[in-house]
Amino acid sequence: MDVRAAVALEAGKPLSIETVQLDGPKEGEVLVEIKATGVCHTDAYTLSGADPEGLFPAILGHEGAGVVVEVGAGVQSLKTGDHVIPLYTPECRNCEYCLSQKTNLCQAIRSTQGRGVMPDGSSRFAIDGQPLYHYMGTSTFANYTVLPEIAVAKIREDAPFEKVCYIGCGVTTGIGAVINTAKVEYGANVVVFGLGGIGLNVIQGARMVGANMIVGVDLNPKKKALAEKLGMTHFVNPREVEGDLVAHLVELTKGGADYSFECIGNVNVMRQALECCHKGWGVSVIIGVAGAGQEISTRPFQLVTGRVWKGSAFGGARGRTDVPKIVDWYMEGRINIDDLITNVMPIERINEAFDLMHSGEGIRTVVTF
């Protein structure tokens, strides 16, 4: 079938709106009509050329929501008409990783996903007879996409697509990092670096679990008001700090953060996030994605003296199990998504969504079909 897609033809270039061809679902797969998709910083990261797994030409996008329109042979858990959120972290419930109960990083299809193809090794997208790569197993910047059954969360039908698509990455990543990865407890002091589409969800997650101080750190003062609305108690602009930022944060938190979160993708900030943690027990969670060749460093003494460095992908969430629950939280008014979606525009204007992100105007842009 012909589908409308924003195609990343090459790194560092704007996306190109094209009519591309999509093959139908094979065994164990479903065809989903994408109704809305958010634009996450990770899409921009891959488009920039900094992603070692970045492949071109490709159809990017991993924060979508839509409706199942066709199911392939053998599909058990989904039917035509189901409302769904694609999962870049699938949940097969059968691989060593899923069965371990120690991680959400299902590995059932990770290797083909990283090579930009479906689990059978082929691409379903083509343009003028030339294959296009899939991205993160989801490729939501197209009005139809094909997904393995294990990479699809079924959600309630009254949830608005242009809001809950954000649960496909940013919301779950931020709130999940607090609840699943760090397991922040009531009364903890938390420092969040980067108050964008991820960091603001870390803030609302920290508020939900009853954190005491919730310190937000961002170079952009325009992020302060919304962060406060979501639960931030103290704002720090590194440009306004006299002297060392880490020392300032340790003093502000009276000894250091119980938990810190890096939501930028800057390896220098990752070091600051670790080192502002409390001696003896502070845990720092890396969420930000850093480019090829970038490495983190610190004095081992920081770890010897009890600080812990961790990472979190998709907020440690098991998508088919957890995503429908987070949709319920939104529908019950327990989490704020509406204020974080600052722009909605048609797919034809998707490059403006990237411009808005880079300019620091707004938080999340959602693109509709």
Strand bridging mode 190-193 / 259-262: parallel
Indicate the DSSP class of residue 83.
E
Q: Return d(Cα 153, Cα 71) in angstroms, integer.
A: 14
CB of 368 to ligand NAD, least distance (A): 19
Residues 73-132 that bind ligand NAD (CB under 6 A): none
Nearer to Zn ion, 134 or 271 (CB): 134
Q: Is 40 among the catalytic positions? A: yes
Q: Is 106 among the catalytic positions? A: yes
Q: Is 124 among the catalytic positions? A: no
Contact call for residue 201 and ligand AHE (CB under 6 A): no
Nearer to ligand AHE, 250 or 309 (CB): 309
Contact call for residue 53 and ligand AHE (CB under 6 A): yes
Interface residue with ligand AHE among 7, 31, 89, 223 (CB under 6 A) is 89
Task: Single out the catalytic residue among 29, 62, 276, 320.
Answer: 62
Contact assessment for residue 235 and residue 228, using Cβ atoms and an 8 Å cutoff: yes
Burial of 2 (0-12, 13-18, 19+ CB in 10 A): exposed
What are the respective helix, strand and coil percentages of the chain, to the nearest 5? Answer: 30, 25, 45
Q: Return d(Cα 222, Cα 226) in angstroms, integer.
A: 8
Neighbouring-strand partners of residue 290: none
Contact call for residue 354 and ligand NAD (CB under 6 A): no
Residue indicated by tokens 């691989």 = 95
Amino acid at 225: A
Which of ligand NAD, ligand AHE, Zn ion, none interacts with 51 (beta carbon under 5 to 8 A by kind)?
ligand AHE
CB of 13 to ligand AHE, least distance (A): 19
Contact call for residue 278 and ligand NAD (CB under 6 A): no
Indicate the DSSP class of residue 159.
S
Contact call for residue 133 and ligand AHE (CB under 6 A): no
Contact assessment for residue 136 and residue 115, using Cβ atoms and an 8 Å cutoff: no
Q: Return d(Cα 323, Cα 104) in angstroms, integer.
A: 12
Question: Which residue's beta carbon is nearest to the bound ligand AHE?
Answer: 42
Contact assessment for residue 61 and residue 141, using Cβ atoms and an 8 Å cutoff: yes
Q: Is 98 among the catalytic positions? A: yes
Nearer to ligand AHE, 247 or 292 (CB): 292
Q: Return d(Cα 245, Cα 26) in angstroms, integer.
A: 53
Amino acid at 177: A
Interface residue with ligand AHE among 51, 70, 162, 228 (CB under 6 A) is 51
Q: Return d(Cα 306, Cα 59) in angstroms, integer.
A: 43
- Using CA atoms in the order 265, 266, 271, 275, what is the torsion angle rounded to 10 degrees? -70
Contact call for residue 195 and ligand NAD (CB under 6 A): yes
Q: Is 110 among the catalytic positions? A: yes
Task: Single out the catalytic residue among 95, 115, 349, 368.
Answer: 95
Which of Zn ion, ligand NAD, ligand AHE, none interacts with 53 (beta carbon under 5 to 8 A by kind)?
ligand AHE
Contact call for residue 11 and ligand AHE (CB under 6 A): no
Interface residue with ligand NAD among 7, 22, 42, 227 (CB under 6 A) is 42
Interface residue with ligand AHE among 151, 188, 277, 313 (CB under 6 A) is 313
Rg over CA atoms, the chain = 20
Residues making contact with ligand NAD (CB under 6 A): 40-42, 45, 169, 173, 193-199, 217-220, 223, 238, 263-266, 269, 287-289, 312-314, 357, 360
Active site residues: 40-42, 62-63, 92, 95, 98, 106, 110, 169, 364
